[in-house]
Amino acid sequence: MKKWYLFAIIICIIGILFFLYKGKEETKVYSFSGSSDELKIHNGVIILSPKKQVVYGGEVEYIGPKRTHIKTYFKSIYLNDEEAIVLKSSVSNGVKGDGLSFPAELKLNKENGSISSEELLTEQQIKELKENLYYQLEMIMDDGENIKLPLRLEVHEIK
């Protein structure tokens, strides 16, 4: 009977140690921002925990020259190249006329959105995150011209 109690206590201790070890998996939080002659990105946050990854794209501010006759625009956050998209949204004007214009449109629609999943980024992408995170505002004008404004983002780990 004593052996059974001793065995049960040892199993409980092993279970508690295992639980404590698993609970020590770290959550990492990163902030990102950036600016160029035409764009400012601020308040971006990336949260990487063992069971969930979240990207909040922050806000965009257009500070460049006024642009009119914009048919569609895309806001993208991506890694390394435009193929590794983390977050992307678009707005399209389906009405004939003057189209959308910047900066007025982005004053109303400044949020870049957010996304979450169990795994948005691979381990390799997480290692490269600080040096390889980009933002791009892409505009398709009424006349078909495509204008891309890429911006390298500064990423800082919050400790």
Q: Where are the beta strands (DSSP E) in the chain?
A: 28-35, 39-48, 53-56, 59-62, 67-79, 84-92, 100-102, 114-117, 133-141, 146-152, 154-158
Q: What is the mean pLDDT of the chain?
A: 81
Q: Mean pLDDT, to the nearest integer, of 34-44?
A: 92
CB 75, CB 100: distance < 8 Å? no
In the chain, where the domains are located: 29-158
For residues 110 and 103, which has the higher predicted lDDT (pLDDT)?
A: 110
Residue 33: pLDDT band with limits 50, 70, 90: very high
Per-residue model confidence (pLDDT) at position 133: 93
Per-residue model confidence (pLDDT) at position 113: 82
The architecture in CATH of the region 29-158 reads: Sandwich (2.60)
Kindly tell me if the per-residue pLDDT of 62 is higher than 80: yes
